[in-house]
Structure 1
Amino acid sequence: MSKQNYNLLLADDDEDDCAFFKEALDELSLPVSLTTVNDGVQLMDFLATISSGDLPDILFLDLNMPRKNGHECLTEIREKEELKNLPVIIFSTSLDNEIVDKMYEKGATYYIRKPGEFAKLKKVIENALTIASQNDFKQPIREQFILQP
């Protein structure tokens, strides 16, 4: 990773998943700061209140959230001029090919299936940050879209 410190944003309604994500980052000792929001409405409100220079470096976006889901948020993000280049990594329990294809078409940067094991969670987060930064946070070809631990 080339940047000194990454500002990450996690949008996930599951408190346990948020806690595991934060714990994984802490154990990896990566140069990151993490902000969390608990649903899509909070996410879009948060993104609306910050200036484009203060946008997170990467948004980890859960698909199944109350009030506004990840599909709706990604669509809105890609439609807003000031947000359209925000790297979005889908972070979901589902690995349905139809959903993965739809997220790719909507412009998500990468797709991660939430691993059930903590060690795999640490590995996939580390891989995501490394690969995304090496790829300049651009969407890869479809075959490289899903990140594995």
Structure 2
Amino acid sequence: MDIAKPLDMISAENPDAESPKEKEPVKILLAEDDTEDQELFIDALDEAQIASEVTTVENGQELLDTLRDESQSDPDIIFIDVNMPVKGGKKALEEIKKDDYLRGIPTVMLSTWDHPADIEDTFAKGADLYVQKPNSFNAFVLLLKKVFLLHWAKALLGPVRNLFFVSEKNVGKG
């Protein structure tokens, strides 16, 4: 018997065993100016059973201020609404990805629109995913499950163009 068995092998043999990673909630920073959308996001995370700690900010400037605040711990992932007041999501994304300290934090863009120019622009600026906000709560739950599946699957790959845009229309696909 091999005593130096990797943790993932033990977990694979016993799927009911929790790995240490599963016990820790995902630290999410959500930049969204609409409080109803903030609540919908948090409720959808709960329904999707994604253990998380969500911090919300209402514009791109608050997002950057929070990320640069040394008293705050770094998030595991950032969700950024494209259209926000004060400083928009694309401008905030650009500043995050130009910052040597912040650029490695995965970023997911959120928008009600699926304009090809916005999608291409955020891909070029370094976002990890672009998610079109769905029209229903159940679709939002499915989308968040897909986002987290894609995020963790892509952790070793970096942004992949054919996996970059996620919407209600393609949530059931590979």
- TM (normalized to structure 1)? 0.92
Cα gap change, 1:55 to 1:76, in 2 (>3 Å): same
Amino acid at match of 1:84: R
The residue number in structure 2 matching 1:12 is: 32
Q: Is the 8 A contact 2:131 2:165 kept in 1?
A: yes
Give 3-state SS (helix, strand or coil) of 2:61's partner.
helix
Q: Give unmatched runs, 5+ long, in structure 1.
A: none
Distance 1:89 1:137 in 2: 16
The residue number in structure 2 matching 1:22 is: 42
Q: Is the 8 A contact 1:74 1:108 kept in 2?
A: yes
Match status 1:116 vs 2:135: yes
Partner deviation per Cα, 1:94-125 (whole Å, 9 max, x = no partner): 11001100100000000100001100001111
Q: Within 5 Å, give how 1:38-49 maps onto structure 2.
A: 38-49=58-69
Cα offset for 1:51?
6.5
Segments of 4+ moved more than 3 angstroms: none
Amino acid at match of 2:135: G
1:82 to 98, 101, 109: 101
Q: Is the 8 A contact 2:48 2:144 kept in 1?
A: no
Cα gap change, 1:61 to 1:17, in 2 (>3 Å): same
Structure with more contact order per residue of length (Cα contacts < 8 Å, sep ≥ 6):
1
Amino acid at match of 2:149: T
1:127 to 136, 140, 146: 146
Q: Is the 8 A contact 1:13 1:65 kept in 2?
A: yes
The residue number in structure 1 matching 2:56 is: 36
Amino acid at match of 2:142: K
Q: CA RMSD in A?
A: 1.7
Cα offset for 1:50?
3.3
Distance 1:25 1:125 in 2: 7
Give 3-state SS (helix, strand or coil) of 1:44's partner.
helix
Q: Is the 8 A contact 1:8 1:58 kept in 2?
A: yes
Q: Give unmatched runs, 5+ long, in structure 2.
A: 1-18
Amino acid at match of 2:32: D
1:55 to 56, 60, 74: 74
Cα gap change, 1:94 to 1:50, in 2 (>3 Å): farther
Amino acid at match of 1:129: F
Instruction: State, as a whole percentage, how many aligned pairs show the same letter.
Output: 33
2:162 to 138, 143, 146: 143
Q: Which has the greater radius of gyration?
A: 2
- Report how many residues are paired: 147
Partner deviation per Cα, 1:56-101 (whole Å, 9 max, x = no partner): 1110100100000001101100111100111000011111001100
